Amino acid sequence: MRVRPFFLVTGLLAAVAPAGAQQFSAEELEVWQAVEECQQYFAEEDEAALDACTHEDFTGWLYGEDVPRTKASNQLSTRLQWEQLDTYGYDLRPLQIRVIDNVAIVHYYWTWIYVDQDGLTTTESGRWTDILVNDQGRWAWIADHGGPTPG
């Protein structure tokens, strides 16, 4: 598997955020760093590290799914995805981050380039919302929602 993050935000968020996006505080940047780190674990197919990014009470709902996922069903879905697709590259663009006490809400755009088992390269883009909780000093996904958008 090859992973080529073709654009990783590493602290210059204000410069790369779309027009109208907020300027990020130090705490918001810390949350965004956690999101980037965990997305990198997904791209690298690092199951143990990705598991540590996901709170035990996680629930998530992708566009088109009939019901929300639990942590266990999300892990199964991720493993199946890894068996069928290889990440070639991805791009994350933060739009808005809100931190309220120990909860963070993160809205962003994403683009993912992957190769399937037949060698077909596909590019998908979409909107995503992550909700993270700071549990014992570490930001972890507790909920998410989003998916590909037509285009």
Domain CATH for 25: 3.10.450.50
| pLDDT tens digits, 48-91 | 999 999 999 999 999 999 999 999 999 999 999 999 999 999 99
Query: What does pTM read for this prediction?
Result: 0.84
Kindly state the average pLDDT of the residues 23-45. 96
The mean of the pLDDT values for the chain is 88
Count: domains in the chain: 1
Instruction: Flag whether pLDDT at 12 surpasses 90.
Output: no
Residue 6 belongs to a domain: no
pLDDT band at 119 (very low <50, low <70, confident <90, very high): very high
Residue 85 belongs to a domain: yes
Residue span of the structural domain in which 144 resides: 13-148
Kindly report the three-state secondary structure assignment for every residue of the chain: CCCCCCECCCCCHHHHCCCCCCCCCHHHHHHHHHHHHHHHHHHCCCHHHHHHCEEEEEEEEECCCCCCEEHHHHHHHHHHHHHHEEEEEEEEEEEEEEEECCEEEEEEEEEEEEEECCCCEEEEEEEEEEEEEEECCEEEEEEEEEEECCC
Residue 115 belongs to a domain: yes
| pLDDT value of residue 142 | 98
